[in-house]
């Protein structure tokens, strides 16, 4: 994060604007809308800026800039077409620890002015840090079309009821749930349609009926193989509602960035031969947190029901009458294969696919190898990095051709994804010569031969 987004309270605060042209007028308009006490210094002032000054009781001085103009200022903007003057204003403002912005020159700024979506008192700011202002404006335009103009009215309604709701719900999580229901349901629709009186009646009714001892709920959500854009809409919605999040090692940082910011995060990750929290404790933790009235998100890499032990977790929830939802995710086989350009099935290469755990128990892999030698079948091994030599050797000994194409995908769907292609006889040696780390996925079958032709990611 290059800049920390902040909102200045400039009401009745003395602010200086150096410059009198069209760009200076745009900045002056922002300062006036924010309630600033504006003073403009410039040799000449355009008609638009002059009119704005007159209408808003601002002040101006038709003269050259002088360092004394900075006296007692809370914020400074330089908007001239003279680089040396802009540099002077920036240097002298910084020396006095006064926040300063120089238009179109991020290097001289201590703050930047973002593109703004104004739904006062709701304010949304979009910035590229000065790197791509057109992109920031395009993003603002998209948000403008998505956010109803009545959101300001909705925010004011919430403000009027804030104290009463706080008195009704001593628990912060319960209070948050009440507001989430209000701001996304019938009350919100009534307010956006201008029917404030009916909306307030409904709020009062819902407060009277509120259950302060509401039972919690568990959301078992598949986070996919890594790319956050592969999340389902439902997954994202529940990630934003959860008050507590239990997540494992396979959930990528990009996905975790989309979790509600004020949620309690509990790492229960699992690494080969080392579990941060045993599975039984995770299961019981979900039950206990839900019975405390929490909305609990169990975030799992891939899909919860494909080698994710999701069935074990919801089995205990069901036994304890804890409400739960299950949201499937894109499993690693589907996501990683797609991003590697390897179709799991193909009319000319494979008519079936099998998902297999490659996890070692006592340093051995016990499976019916004879079922895995059909050449028209694609095999996908999860957690197969450590057991890769044993897997390849087992398939060859069972009768699968040593020349069968095979690929190991490291960190599939992520920006640092790597794909290693060889065949069953040579892949273990190829991987041994590289520094490869989990998460990985092993794909065996003729479909791997299509990787070079169909690869599109990265």
- Cite the active site residues: 248, 270
- Given a contact cutoff of 8 angstroms between Cβ atoms, the answer to whether 444 and 426 are in contact is no
Q: For 198, what's the count of Cα atoms within 13 Å in the CB-facing half-sphere?
A: 10
DSSP 400: -
* Paired sense of beta strands 244-247 and 217-222, if any: unpaired
Q: Would you tell me how many other CB atoms lie within 10 Å of the CB of residue 67? A: 13
How far, in Å, CA of 30 to CA of 420, rounded? 54
- Given a contact cutoff of 8 angstroms between Cβ atoms, the answer to whether 95 and 44 are in contact is no
Closest to 157 (Cα-Cα) out of 189, 210, 119, 199: 199
Burial class (CB in 10 A: 0-12, 13-18, 19+), 320: middle
Q: If DSSP codes are grouped into helix, strand and coil, which group holds residue 57?
A: coil
* Paired sense of beta strands 115-119 and 352-357, if any: unpaired
H helices within 147-232, ranges in order? Answer: 151-168, 172-184, 186-192, 196-209
- Given a contact cutoff of 8 angstroms between Cβ atoms, the answer to whether 345 and 352 are in contact is yes
How far, in Å, CA of 291 to CA of 305, rounded? 24
């Amino acid at each position: 994060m290059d800049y920390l987004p902040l909102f200045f309270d400039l009401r009745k605060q003395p602010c200086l604007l150096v410059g009198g042209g069209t760009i200076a007028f745009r900045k002056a308009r922002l300062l006036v809308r924010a309630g600033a006490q504006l003073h403009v210094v410039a040799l000449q002032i355009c008609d638009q800026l002059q009119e704005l000054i007159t209408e808003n009781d601002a002040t101006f001085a038709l003269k050259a800039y002088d360092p004394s103009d900075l006296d007692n200022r809370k914020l400074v903007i330089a908007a001239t077409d003279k680089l040396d003057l802009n540099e002077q204003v920036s240097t002298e403002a910084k020396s006095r620890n006064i926040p300063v912005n120089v238009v179109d020159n991020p290097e001289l700024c201590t703050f930047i002015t973002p593109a703004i979506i104004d739904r006062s008192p709701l304010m949304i700011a979009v910035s590229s840090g000065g790197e791509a202002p057109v992109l920031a404006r395009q993003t603002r335009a998209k948000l403008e079309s998505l956010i109803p103009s009545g959101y300001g009215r909705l925010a004011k309604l919430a403000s009027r009821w804030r104290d009463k709701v706080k008195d009704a719900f001593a628990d912060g999580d319960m209070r948050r749930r009440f507001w989430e229901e209000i701001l996304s349901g019938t009350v919100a629709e009534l307010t956006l349609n201008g029917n404030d009186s009916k909306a307030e009646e409904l709020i009062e009714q819902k407060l009277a009926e509120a259950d302060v001892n509401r039972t919690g709920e568990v959301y078992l959500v598949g986070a996919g193989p890594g790319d956050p854009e592969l999340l389902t809409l439902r997954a994202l919605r529940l990630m934003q509602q959860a008050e507590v999040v239990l997540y494992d090692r396979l959930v990528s940082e990009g996905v975790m960035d989309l979790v509600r910011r004020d949620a309690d995060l509990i790492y229960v990750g699992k690494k080969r031969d080392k579990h941060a929290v045993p599975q039984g404790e995770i299961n019981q933790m979900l039950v206990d947190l839900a019975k405390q009235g929490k909305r609990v998100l169990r975030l799992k890499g891939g899909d919860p029901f494909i080698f994710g032990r999701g069935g074990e977790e919801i089995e205990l929830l069901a036994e304890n009458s804890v409400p739960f939802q299950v949201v499937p995710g894109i499993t690693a086989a589907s996501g990683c294969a797609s991003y590697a350009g390897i179709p799991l099935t193909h009319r000319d290469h494979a008519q079936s696919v099998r998902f297999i755990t490659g996890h070692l128990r006592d340093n051995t892999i016990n499976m019916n190898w004879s079922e895995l030698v059909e050449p028209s079948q694609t095999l996908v091994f999860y957690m197969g990095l450590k057991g890769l030599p044993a897997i390849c050797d087992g398939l060859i000994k069972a009768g699968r051709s040593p020349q069968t194409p095979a690929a190991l995908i490291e960190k599939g769907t992520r920006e640092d994804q790597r794909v290693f292609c060889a065949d069953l006889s040579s892949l273990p040696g190829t991987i041994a010569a590289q520094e490869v780390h989990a998460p990985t996925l092993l794909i065996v079958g003729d479909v791997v031969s299509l990787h070079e032709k169909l690869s599109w990611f990265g």
